[in-house]
Amino acid sequence: MIRLDKYLADMGIGTRQEVKRRIRQGKVTVDGTVVRSPEYKVDEECTVCCDGGRVCYEAFEYYMLNKPAGVVSATEDRTEKTVIDLIGGQRRKDLFPAGRLDKDTEGLLLITNDGALAHRLLSPKKHVDKMYYVRVKGAVTEEDVHAMAEGINIGSSALEEWTKPAVLDIISSGRESAVRLTIQEGKYHQVKRMFLARGKEVTYLKRERMGALALDESLQPGEYRRLTEEELKDLYETDRHA
């Protein structure tokens, strides 16, 4: 059971104060009866309507976002536009990005309010693959492939910080190279630091996959959609087998 005001606020109808006001004004019904008490308890089986429209409760929501460059992976920021700002409509207040992408990094980002799933997907102990498309200055060689496979020291000269083994696939190599890198961690600026440790500068970075969830290439940067039932099932399978 859940309080009526929380039910409505969770579904993005308004803030707790706004929905309390609507309830007290008689604009909310439960199973066809006007309810004026914000504390009234309802469950998912109840038919809740606000201003004549039905409000169906979902405990969790899952969105795939193609994060554009220039947007920060945060729920709120005083000066920068956030990934949550990109989710339009009557969005719920408890959404957050599952993990972070650097401000200038593009690509797959899961937006949800399922904290337990997000924690398991992001835990280093779970070994969930994160695959990135990367462009770097300079030629990427088989020596780089072997080095990445053994783990890279991305620490400072005074402090070592080794990554776990990573898989590097060379797409093209030259004055500017294109590669795909698969890692199982999410250290601060990790991909950039791994290539920097090999003497190469990352010029473009895009996450294409996290576990079984692959970026929908039809989504333009800044666009998003709900996960399909099949994608959500695969994501939970990733969690269980990681």
In this structure, what CATH number is given to the domain that contains residue 114?
3.30.70.580
Supply the angle between the helices 115-122 and 229-241 in degrees, to the nearest 10.
50
112/157 same-domain check: no
180/223 same-domain check: no
CA pair distance 5, 59, nearest whole angstrom:
15
pLDDT at 179: 98
> Which domain does 148 fall in, by range?
129-210
Which pTM does this prediction carry? 0.84
100/145 same-domain check: no
168/98 same-domain check: no
Residue 115: DSSP 8-state: H
11/108 same-domain check: no
Where do the H-state alpha helices sit in the chain? 4-10, 16-24, 115-122, 142-150, 190-197, 229-241
Number of domains in the chain: 3
pLDDT at 157: 74
Where do the H-state alpha helices sit in 112-174? 115-122, 142-150
Distances (CA, A) of 16 to 22, 61, 98: 10, 19, 25
224/192 same-domain check: no
Count of CB atoms situated within 10 Å of the CB of 217: 8
Q: Write out the chain's pLDDT in tens, 242 residues.
A: 999 999 999 888 988 999 999 999 999 999 999 999 999 999 988 999 999 999 988 889 999 999 999 999 999 999 999 999 999 876 788 899 999 999 999 999 999 999 999 988 888 788 899 999 999 999 999 999 999 999 999 998 778 999 999 999 999 999 999 999 999 998 999 999 999 999 999 999 999 999 999 999 999 999 999 999 999 998 888 655 55
188/230 same-domain check: no
CA pair distance 120, 236, nearest whole angstrom:
10
Residue holding tokens 């072997």?
146
pLDDT at 125: 81
pLDDT at 159: 85
218/189 same-domain check: no
CA pair distance 162, 232, nearest whole angstrom:
32
Q: Is 216 a catalytic residue?
A: no
Nearest CA to 200 out of 141, 121, 116 is that of 141
CATH of the domain at 34: 3.10.290.10
CA pair distance 18, 20, nearest whole angstrom:
5
Count of CB atoms situated within 10 Å of the CB of 2: 15
144/87 same-domain check: no
43/90 same-domain check: no
Tokens at 124, concatenated: 């280093």
Distances (CA, A) of 212 to 14, 128, 205: 34, 9, 20
Residue in 102, 129, 216, 234 annotated catalytic = 102
120/71 same-domain check: yes
pLDDT at 103: 96
DSSP β-ladder status, 106-112 and 202-210: parallel
193/78 same-domain check: no
CA pair distance 41, 27, nearest whole angstrom:
16
CATH of the domain at 138: 3.30.70.1560
